Amino acid sequence: MVSGSELKVCVLGLGYIGLPTAAVIARTGAQVVGVDVHQHVVDTVNSGKVHIEEIDLDGLVSGVVARGNLRASLDIEPAEVFVIAVPTPFRDDHTPDIGYVLKAATAIATVLKTGDVVVLESTSPVGTTEQVAALLGQLRPDLKIPGHCAGSADVAIAYCPERVLPGRILVELIDNDRVIGGVTPRCARKALQFYRRFVRGACVTTSAKAAEMTKLSENAFRDVNIAFANELSMIAEKMGVDVWEVIRLANRHPRVNILSPGPGVGGHCIAVDPWFLVSAAPERTPLIRTAREVNDGKILHVVDTASSMIAAHPGAKVGCLGLAFKANIDDFRESPALKVARELAHRFGDRIAIVEPYAAALPDAFAGSGACLIDVDSALEACDILIVLVDHDVFRSIPLDERADKLVYDTRGIWQDQPRSLPAEPLRLVG
Ligand code: SAJ
């Protein structure tokens, strides 16, 4: 592979993963072209700016664009390495849609040449990288494609899942270990050379299929464990027990580490990826499917609990704290907080005020509901009921004396000093 500043890399998809990845590679001195289908994304990046919020990304992008190491384009260009970082959504029936990956591979086929490396980073169902190889083979019969030829192939094709946590993307892109799965062992070794340019963590090689399943297993593991915490929270609520105290105490056991309950699980990864495993083996995934159902069910449980609380206090003004899918970010994708707040807004109209410091205006989902967007201080003055949906630092730091007189439903456990507002359900004694 070409070294130093001569290496040319094409990153397809300039989203939450593609743009930081492109910028980090550009910082190594490589010539990087970021390809995106949205003109405004291309224009924003070319002006040295960013269209997504991520710590330190703006400074990095403006630096590498100014130095001429990163530019964006609507069109694919020849390069030595192609990194695919496009979305892989799921359809209404929970089956994965790899259409954007196949579209990216089709574009790559138009410029692919001997010696090139193609790496898929998008979270994908097991077997997708092999499908990419098969497609490239069909579109480029003049090239020897790995897995589809005898002897050494002309190009290398591999899967290397991103594993970064929003809010820590630039740190984790470099420090996290990477799993690099080749369509053949030689493909994995070629891709490894590329990742070693910018990854400080260990890079471990394996097959493409094992790497694909590893990624899905990581997110399904987290979903299952959060589901356990969410189930505990609903049991504890029924019993009138403080679930946060129970978890704190249980976690004193040396081999117990229970995660945190919340209003459900959101984001574009953990709420989505487990379905890729379920749809691949529906009859063998009762646990993973149930975890998804428990976490989605928690959203409905929070809507019902909050609705009963609001209905029991006619005329009370309600503040819903947070819309983001998790703390301190501006990402509302698949957000349980947004789903709860939207439902309450449509049920209770102008009694509902939304507090979200990361939103400039209420999302379209609230149109016609009568709910309004207000700041934290106005909510503390105007609201009688507070429903904590996101653990943003700005909410966490509100002292007890500013909220002691409120009725609180704290789905994130950020105010454990709050006097209890939810009544325990009456225990029914059996027998
Ligand atoms: N959540 C809880 N309780 C917890 C932890 C999280 O309710 O104890 C909720 C969050 O509030 C949020 C959701 O889960 O709604 C997901 O948040 P997260 O912080 O667990 O994960 P993501 O979606 O931001 O990023 C995950 C990460 N995967 C794992 O931790 C296994 C990240 O490393 C992946 O790169 C990312 O998915 C991805 O892109 O796949």
pLDDT tens digits for the chain (431 residues)? 655 558 999 999 999 999 999 999 999 999 999 999 999 999 999 999 999 888 999 999 999 999 999 999 999 999 999 999 999 998 889 899 999 999 999 999 999 999 999 999 999 999 999 999 999 999 999 999 999 998 899 999 999 999 999 889 999 999 999 999 999 999 999 999 999 999 999 999 999 999 999 999 999 999 999 999 999 999 999 999 999 999 999 999 999 999 999 999 999 899 999 999 999 999 999 999 999 999 999 999 999 999 999 999 999 999 999 999 999 988 898 999 999 999 999 999 999 999 999 999 999 999 999 999 999 999 999 999 999 999 999 999 999 999 999 999 999 999 998 887 666 565 555 54
13's tokens:
């998809």
Fold of the 4-207 domain: Rossmann fold (3.40.50)
Asked if residue 319 has its Cβ within 6 Å of ligand 1, the reply is no
Which residue bears the tokens 């049920």?
347
Q: How far, in Å, CA of 265 to CA of 339, rounded?
A: 11
Asked if residue 263 has its Cβ within 6 Å of ligand 1, the reply is no
Asked if residue 265 has its Cβ within 6 Å of ligand 1, the reply is yes
**CA 266 to ligand 1 centroid distance, Å:** 8
Asked if residue 171 has its Cβ within 6 Å of ligand 1, the reply is no
* Residue from 265, 276, 325, 395 whose mutation best tests the ligand 1 pocket (most atoms within 8 A of CB): 265
| Beta-bridge partner residues of 251 | none
Per CATH, domain 239-430 is 3.90.1150.10: no
Where do runs of H (alpha helix) occur along 241-285? 243-250, 274-280
User: What is the DSSP secondary structure assignment for residue 96, as one 8-state letter?
Assistant: B
Q: How far, in Å, CA of 99 to CA of 202, rounded?
A: 31
- Domain residue limits, the chain: 4-207, 239-430
The dihedral sign for the CA sequence 15, 17, 21, 23:
positive
Check for a shared fold between 4-207 and 239-430: yes
Asked if residue 16 has its Cβ within 6 Å of ligand 1, the reply is no
**CA 262 to ligand 1 centroid distance, Å:** 12
* Residue from 52, 54, 90, 165 whose mutation best tests the ligand 1 pocket (most atoms within 8 A of CB): 165
Ligand 1 atom index nearest CA of 334 = 15
User: What's the chain's length in residues?
Assistant: 431
Torsion angles phi and psi, residue 353, rounded to 5: -120, 140
**Helix (H) and strand (E) counts in the chain:** 14, 13
- Four-point Cα dihedral 102, 105, 106, 111, nearest 10: 170
Told to judge if 149 belongs to the known catalytic residues of this protein, a careful annotator would answer no
Told to judge if 187 belongs to the known catalytic residues of this protein, a careful annotator would answer no
